[in-house]
Amino acid sequence: MKKILLVILFLFLIISVFGPYNLYYEFNEKSALEQFISEDGTFQGLEVIDVDYRGSDTFFIQAKDGEATRNFIVMNYHSSVMNGHWKVFKQTSKGHYY
């Protein structure tokens, strides 16, 4: 029974590390994102309501400005192995779905 449990745990770890949804990257990126939000001028004066990890270094952020809610997409991209940069995209209008 212990061997089966260890094998299942080992498989879960392998899948979470090498799979498309890596939990380790999500937790590390959220702390880096929180630091970016506190330093970036785009989010000054806004109350961040929700941060949703969308995968591939991309986050959906909802922020409140008084009564209005603003939506942002924040992406982390790497220009080299050691240089990571954040891009912020504001939602300007809602598109129509086909």
The pLDDT of residue 84: 73
Decide if 96 is inside a domain: no
Decide if 14 is inside a domain: yes
| Residue span of the structural domain in which 83 resides | 2-90
The pLDDT tens digits for 65-85 are 888 999 999 998 877 766 778
Decide if 83 is inside a domain: yes
Decide if 98 is inside a domain: no
The pLDDT tens digits for 8-60 are 999 888 887 776 666 666 667 777 788 888 888 888 889 999 988 887 788 99
Number of domains forming the structure of the chain: 1
pTM of the model: 0.64
pLDDT value at 62 more than 90: yes
Decide if 28 is inside a domain: yes
| Tokens at 84, concatenated | 């990571």
The pLDDT of residue 50: 92
For the chain, the DSSP string reads -HHHHHHHHHHHHHHHHHSSS-HHHHHHHHHHHHHHHHH-GGGTT-EEEEEEEEETTEEEEEEEETTEEEEEEEEEEESSSS-EEEEEEE--SPPPP-
Decide if 81 is inside a domain: yes
